C-alpha cells in the first residue's frame, strides 16, 4: 500500500532577525532563536527582517521563508548596481556593494567546501575581482527568453524559482546593441510563426534568442532557437525576411536558426544540421588573447570578455610552462587553453569528448599556425583509464571540466597518470568549487599536494566563482 504524503508543517513566524549570510543559491540566511537556519530568497546579509517560514520536513535541515518584510536594509546595499537585481533570477548578489559580494562569495562558495573537505582555509588566495571599470557590458553572449508581460511582447530572464518572465532587454551586463536587437525583434512575438514556445502544452514556436559578440573584432551573431518552423517553405522564407528586416539595423554578421524540436530546458540543439544560416556567415571571427578563431552558435566560449584572459593567465602562470614542456589539456573544448599553452611550450595535447569541438580546435590550431598543438576526441575519463596514445607523457597538466568536475573516475585516473608520467604540476580550473573540493580530496589521497586555490570572479552579481587550484606531486 502506497504511503500517503506527509502534510507540510504549518508556517511559523520569526520577527526582527538579522540576515547573517548568503546561501550558495543566493538566498539570505537567518537563524531563529531555536537555532534553525532559514533560507530567505531575496534578503541581503546585514538586513533585519520578519518572515513566515516553512519548517523543514523530517530529515530536512533548513526552513524556507514564504516572503519577508524588511525592517532595516543591509548597510551593504548598493541599489545603483543593477535596476533588475532582485527581480530577475540571474544576479541574487547584484544589489550588494561589490567588495562585500566578493568576500561573501569567497567564504561561502570556496572556503567553506574546502574546509569541509579537510583542507585549510589558508590555501585560498585573495580573490581576483572583476575590474571596476568593466562591470557593465562585459558579456559576449546572452540567452534571452521570449514572452508576454502584461500583454506586451518582451525578451528577458526568469524570476528566481519561477517561470515568470522579467523583461531584461536593458540588462547592464550585456552590450547595448544586444538589448536594442531584442527590442527590435520583440514585436514579432505577436506573429503566430514566432510566438513564444510553452513547454507545458507545446504551443508556440520561439524558444530563445541567443546573441554573441566576438571579442576583438566586435562581429555580431544572432540565433533564433525554434521549436518548429512553418511547414510551407514560402511561409518560412517570409518569416525569415521579417526577422532580417527587424534585425538589419543592428549590424549582424551572422543570423542563424537553430531548430530544437526536443523537449526540455537545454537551450540549443546539437543535432546534425540543426543550425542553418538565414543571413551572413555561419560563424563570427574572434581575435582574443593573441589568437584568432571562429565562433558559432554552439561554440563554447567563456562569456566574460575582460576576465577570461585573467583566468587563463592565472592557470598558465601557475603551471610555470617552460619551452621544453609538454602540456596536457583535459576538457579542452575548442582548444583555447591548449593553444595558449602551445605558444609557451614544446607541445600541447588537448582532449575533449565532443567531436565537433575537436574539429574546431584543429582548425583553430591551423589558422593560428600552431603546429605543436594536437587534439583527440574522447571522453576524458576513458582516455585516462586506457592511457594516452603513443605513450605520450605530459610534464604539466591542465584540467578545465564542466560543472560536475572530474566525474566518472577521472580524478582517480588523473592521479595515476600524474604519478606514472612524472608530471610535476596540475592546474585545475573549476566552475564549481564544491566538485573541485571533492576531487582535490581524491587527488591528494593519491599522492598530490594542493598548494593554492585562487578564486576568479567571472560573473559579478551571480553566486558563482571560478577557481584555479594548483597541485604538485607530494
**CA separation, residue 160 to residues 61, 85, 92, 298 (Å):** 22, 11, 9, 26
Catalytic, out of 82, 88, 431, 444:
431
What is the CA angle 194-260-175, rounded to 5?
Answer: 65
H/E segment holding residue 39: strand 37-40
- All residues at 6 or more sequence positions from 442 whose CB lies less than 8 Å from its CB, including other chains: 406, 411, 412, 415
**Sequence-separated contacts (24+) of 412-418 with Cβ below 8 Å:** 412/442, 412/446, 413/381, 413/384, 413/385, 414/330, 414/384, 414/443, 415/442, 415/443, 415/446, 415/447, 415/448, 416/384, 416/446, 417/384, 417/388, 418/443, 418/447, 418/448, 418/471, 418/473
Give the residue from 227, 253, 257, 228 showing the smallest Cα distance to 242. Answer: 257
Instruction: Take residue 390 and report the three cell numbers written for it.
Output: 603513443
CA distance 88 to 42: 11
- All residues at 6 or more sequence positions from 97 whose CB lies less than 8 Å from its CB, including other chains: 76, 77, 78
Query: Is 431 part of the annotated catalytic residue set?
Result: yes
End-to-end CA distance of the chain: 56
Map residue 62 onto helix, strand or coil.
strand
| Interhelix angle 433-445/410-421, nearest 10 degrees | 50
Helices (H), 13-151: 98-105, 112-116
Instruction: Take residue 224 and report the three cell numbers written for it.
Output: 533564433
Query: Which positions are catalytic?
Result: 431
Amino acid at each position: 500500500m502506497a504511503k500517503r504524503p506527509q502534510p507540510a508543517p504549518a508556517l511559523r513566524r520569526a520577527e526582527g532577525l538579522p540576515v547573517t549570510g548568503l546561501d550558495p543559491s543566493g538566498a539570505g540566511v537567518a537563524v531563529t532563536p531555536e537555532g534553525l537556519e532559514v533560507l530567505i530568497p531575496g534578503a541581503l546579509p546585514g538586513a533585519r527582517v520578519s518572515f513566515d517560514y516553512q519548517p523543514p520536513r523530517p530529515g530536512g535541515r533548513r526552513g524556507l521563508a514564504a516572503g519577508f518584510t524588511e525592517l532595516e536594509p543591509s548597510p551593504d546595499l548598493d541599489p545603483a548596481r543593477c535596476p533588475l537585481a532582485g527581480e530577475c533570477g540571474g544576479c541574487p548578489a547584484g544589489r550588494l556593494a561589490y567588495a562585500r559580494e566578493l568576500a561573501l562569495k569567497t567564504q561561502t562558495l570556496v572556503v567553506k567546501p574546502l574546509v569541509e573537505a579537510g583542507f585549510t582555509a589558508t590555501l585560498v588566495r585573495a580573490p581576483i575581482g572583476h575590474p571596476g571599470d568593466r562591470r557593465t557590458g562585459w558579456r559576449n553572449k546572452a540567452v534571452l527568453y521570449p514572452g508576454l508581460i502584461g500583454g506586451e511582447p518582451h525578451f528577458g530572464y526568469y524570476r528566481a524559482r519561477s517561470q515568470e518572465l522579467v523583461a531584461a532587454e536593458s540588462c547592464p551586463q550585456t552590450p547595448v546593441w544586444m538589448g536594442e536587437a531584442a527590442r527590435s525583434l520583440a514585436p514579432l512575438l505577436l506573429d503566430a510563426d514566432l510566438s513564444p514556445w510553452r513547454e507545458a502544452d507545446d504551443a508556440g514556436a520561439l524558444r530563445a534568442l541567443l546573441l554573441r559578440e566576438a571579442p576583438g573584432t566586435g562581429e555580431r551573431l544572432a540565433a533564433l532557437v525554434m521549436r518548429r518552423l512553418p511547414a510551407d517553405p514560402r511561409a518560412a522564407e517570409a518569416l525569415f525576411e521579417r526577422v532580417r528586416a527587424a534585425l538589419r539595423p543592428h549590424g549582424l554578421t551572422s543570423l542563424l536558426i537553430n531548430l530544437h524540436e526536443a523537449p526540455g530546458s537545454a537551450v540549443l540543439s546539437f543535432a546534425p544540421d540543426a543550425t542553418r544560416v538565414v543571413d551572413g556567415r555561419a560563424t563570427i571571427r574572434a581575435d582574443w588573447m593573441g589568437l584568432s578563431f571562429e565562433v558559432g552558435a554552439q561554440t563554447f566560449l567563456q562569456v566574460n570578455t575582460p576576465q577570461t584572459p585573467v583566468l587563463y593567465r592565472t592557470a598558465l602562470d601557475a603551471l610555470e610552462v617552460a619551452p621544453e614542456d609538454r602540456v596536457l589539456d583535459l576538457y579542452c573544448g575548442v582548444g583555447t587553453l591548449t593553444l595558449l599553452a602551445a605558444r609557451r611550450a614544446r607541445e600541447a595535447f588537448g582532449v575533449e569528448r565532443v567531436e565537433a569541438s575537436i574539429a574546431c580546435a584543429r582548425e583553430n590550431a591551423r589558422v593560428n599556425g600552431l603546429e605543436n598543438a594536437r587534439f583527440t576526441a574522447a571522453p576524458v575519463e576513458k582516455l585516462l583509464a586506457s592511457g594516452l596514445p603513443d605513450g605520450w607523457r605530459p610534464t604539466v597538466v591542465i584540467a578545465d571540466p564542466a560543472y560536475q568536475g572530474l566525474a566518472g573516475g577521472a580524478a582517480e585516473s588523473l592521479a595515476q597518470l600524474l604519478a606514472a608520467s612524472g608530471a610535476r604540476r596540475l592546474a585545475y580550473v573549476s566552475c564549481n568549487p564544491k566538485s573541485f573540493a571533492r576531487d582535490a580530496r581524491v587527488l591528494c589521497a593519491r599522492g598530490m599536494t594542493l598548494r593554492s586555490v585562487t578564486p576568479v570572479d567571472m560573473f559579478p552579481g551571480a553566486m558563482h566563482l571560478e577557481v584555479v587550484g594548483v597541485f604538485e606531486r607530494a
